[in-house]
A and B are shown apart, each in its own frame.
Chain A
Amino acid sequence: MQILEGAFALPVILYTTVGVFLGITVGAIPGLSGDMAIALLLPLIYKVSPAAALGMLMGIYKGSMFGGSISAISFGVPGTAAAAATVEDGYPAKLKGYPKQAMLTALYSSVTGDLISTLLLVFVAVPMAKAALHFGPVEFFALYVFALMMISLLVVGEMKKGIAAAAIGLFIGTIGMDPMMGSVRLTFGISSLRGGIPLIPLLVGVFAVSELMIQFGKECSSRSAKRVAEDAGKAAELIGYDPKKDRMSLKIYWSTFKATLIGSGMGTFIGALPGAGSSLAAFMSYGLARKLSKRPEDFGKGTLEGVAAPEAGNSATAGASLIPLFAFGIPGSATAALFGAALIMQGINPGPMMIEENKVIIYTLFIIIIYATFINLFLSYGLIPLYAKLAQIKACYLVPTVFALALLGTFASRNSLFDVWVLLAAGVLGIYLRKNEFPLGPLVLGFIVGPGAEKALRQALLMGRGEWSFLLKSPIALSFYALCILSLVLIHFSVKKKLVEED
């Protein structure tokens, strides 16, 4: 009863609705992302009740997944990286005169994928967390190694840059007090560093400030957006858009249901793997749906199956990527890492004991996660035409506003100027890494899981009296290491095969 009261309290519903609205909004605007919005809101929500705060962030996460497809279908420009695969068929479908069908197919498949993965989260996280209670430091260290390995290997781009980014994150996480004996490390006499690099400025700096810095100074008119919109308008005029032909029906939804299920399954599987992001899930879902389709030749020409699969795929990662966070305290994606940071700010420590120690709030959160999916459905359905216009907001107004929010939010969270300097330094680091194609996700994940991994390693070595071989004495740990080697070999050979094919 307490759980239901908490989940359906009016402020919680309102915050979740606002979160979904914000999520769809930032998703629909190319250049802004759900990650950025969550990072920006982290400093502002620490005074809000845990259920409302977490509901809002969850709403943003879910909303941004669908939001990205709005500009992908309307203008052929993905609002988020995860919606890039939706452009392949979504935009051609619009040009063929079926924008409404494409948009609603994206929405329904997105909601279906999200719901399937959310239910999996609810039913799988609890037993997994119970199993993890039997883990000791040896098993946990192996799990951390596996997570870090997957995070580095599954990044889009070069694997070695993923490994470097994760190691940078791990190193930054070691600055300040050591988690076992309290030795002060690498602070260079700066007293503010004794508590370590603050999490929020680092997250906001790396994710938001670096992105804003790229867009800073862009022209005060989104010429290319206008051009795309004009082109699309002309194309629609040429075809002669007929709203009667562009009606959505249950039959159309059913015709894309197989692709939706393929996307949901693929997205859930990939989302549950630490490090594999929603973009990868969307492209793999698209590829698999095309392979298994009765009419693969229609893909790329505006088939609705090609819209349903990637949308279900990227949305299905939302719930699934929280499974490792809820079960083991290890975030499965950059967004899950931000969510983990929000949990910490609310006094909830992610880990196997989290569900046991915070039953009421966690079960409340499960209910919120489920109904946020439906809020997303209704809100998006009603506001699609308005959102399509958002993609044309001028960068010169948006960037300074978001930047001001980032600076003020970071400063206000602790009234500390030091945090502002960390934010700007993290922004510079972020821009350097972006410019040189280093993935940012592994850095943040390395920073967040680093202290836990260090503690587990040192506890394990203490138990083994300094013997490194002690780390290999647990069968569970050994299976995690075997999985690491297997993944490394599989990914190495798949990359090699791809290179040979390209040659």
Chain B
Amino acid sequence: MDMQRIPETRGKTDGFNPNKISGSLLMITAAVCYSFTLTGKWSSGAGIGAKLFPQLSLITIFLSGAAIFFRAGENNKEKYGDVTPLRIFLFMGSAVLFVLAVLKLGLATGTFLYLTTIFFHFRKEGGFLKRVILPALCITLFIWGLFTYFAQIVMPPALLF
């Protein structure tokens, strides 16, 4: 683990205030969702109706968003500045590909391919077999054993295993 993450890494965010953005986002989301509660045909029985609680939650979100927006002066920095939208996209993309690989090729094959790719990508030095293949194989075996014998989970049938 990278220990430097614990004393919070902060990225430069000159030019915009994350609190103002968060506050605005909360207010906009709450307002948009509130409009759906006005148009939906929900029961009005049982006390004051099915709208009440979503509306109360949305009003609270809106008000707290406004409070964050208007008191945003003290904090104009964002945590984890190195977590960029591109990195999030890559992370999500790898997740989708992994799940599809498991469904099409099988639990063991999909996991092995995924781990091999990731380990290969982040390998800095050392042998391919020792740093990539062996760890991927061992971890795949562990995950396969965990699912097959410990949790006894039956995965959908796939092309391989």
A residues near B, CB below 8 A?
Answer: 29-32, 44-45, 47, 75, 77-78, 158, 160-161, 163-164, 166-168, 170-171, 174, 178, 180-183, 185-186, 212-225, 228, 391, 393, 395-398, 400-401, 403-405, 407-409, 411-412, 415, 417, 420, 424, 427-428, 431, 434-438, 450, 453-454, 457-462, 466
Contacts and interface: CB of A to CB of B under 8 A. Distances in A.
A210 to B, nearest CB: 9
Contacts of A428: 88, 92
A196 B47 CA distance: 21
B48 to A, nearest CB: 5
Interface of B: 1-6, 18-19, 22, 26, 33, 36-37, 40, 42-43, 45-48, 50, 52-54, 56-58, 60-61, 64-65, 67-68, 71, 75, 78-80, 83, 87-88, 90-92, 95-96, 98-99, 102, 107, 111, 114-115, 118-119, 122-124, 135, 139, 143, 146-147, 150-153, 155-156
Nearest to A218: B2
Contact of A161 (B68, B98, B114): B68
A222 B36 contact: no
A174 B43 contact: no
A217 B119 CA distance: 10
Contact of B43 (A32, A75, A181, A393): A181
B122 A217 contact: yes
Closest 3 CB pairs of A and B: A461-B47, A180-B46, A458-B47
Given A75-B3, A224-B4, A435-B79, A466 B61 contact: no
A214 to B, nearest CB: 5
B56 to A, nearest CB: 8
Given A77-B3, A438-B22, 12 more contacts: A47-B152, A160-B71, A164-B68, A167-B61, A174-B57, A186-B36, A213-B88, A405-B143, A434-B79, A437-B75, A461-B47, A466-B47
B6 A77 contact: yes
Contacts of B33: 171, 186
What DSSP secondary structure best describes chain B's contact surface? Answer: helix
Contacts of A171: 33, 54, 57-58, 61
A432 B71 CA distance: 19
Contacts of B143: 401, 404-405, 408
A216 B5 CA distance: 12
B99 A436 contact: no
Nearest to A227: B3
Nearest to B68: A160
A183 B11 CA distance: 45
Given A407-B95, A417-B99, A428-B88, A412 B57 contact: no
A216 B87 contact: yes
Contact of A180 (B26, B50, B67, B119): B50
Given A186-B36, A391-B1, A220 B122 contact: yes
A31 B57 contact: no
A400 B118 contact: yes
A412 B115 contact: no
**What's the dominant secondary structure at chain A's contact region?**
helix
B115 A178 contact: no
Contacts of B54: 171, 174, 185-186
Contact of A436 (B79, B114, B153): B79
B83 A431 contact: yes
A450 B53 contact: yes
A462 B54 CA distance: 18
Contacts of B111: 404, 408
Contacts of B123: 220, 396
Contacts of B60: 163-164, 166-167, 170
B87 A393 contact: no
A217 B1 contact: no
Given A457-B47, A461-B47, A408 B122 contact: no
Contacts of B88: 213, 428, 431
B122 to A, nearest CB: 4
A409 B5 CA distance: 27
Contacts of B50: 178, 180-181, 183, 185
Contact of B47 (A164, A182, A411, A462): A462
Nearest to A47: B152
A428 B92 CA distance: 9
B59 to A, nearest CB: 9
B1 A47 contact: no
Contacts of B71: 160
Nearest to A392: B1
Given A183-B50, A185-B50, A220-B123, A436 B3 contact: no
B28 to A, nearest CB: 13
Given A164-B61, A428-B88, A215 B5 contact: yes
A454 B2 CA distance: 42
B61 to A, nearest CB: 5
A72 B67 CA distance: 37
Given A160-B68, A183-B42, A213-B88, A400 B114 contact: yes
B26 to A, nearest CB: 6
Contacts of B42: 178, 183, 185
Given A163-B60, A428-B92, A397 B2 contact: no
Contacts of A217: 87, 90-91, 122
5 contacts: A180-B43, A222-B1, A408-B107, A420-B99, A424-B92
A14 to B, nearest CB: 11
A214 B5 CA distance: 9
Contacts of A174: 53-54, 57
B64 A393 contact: no
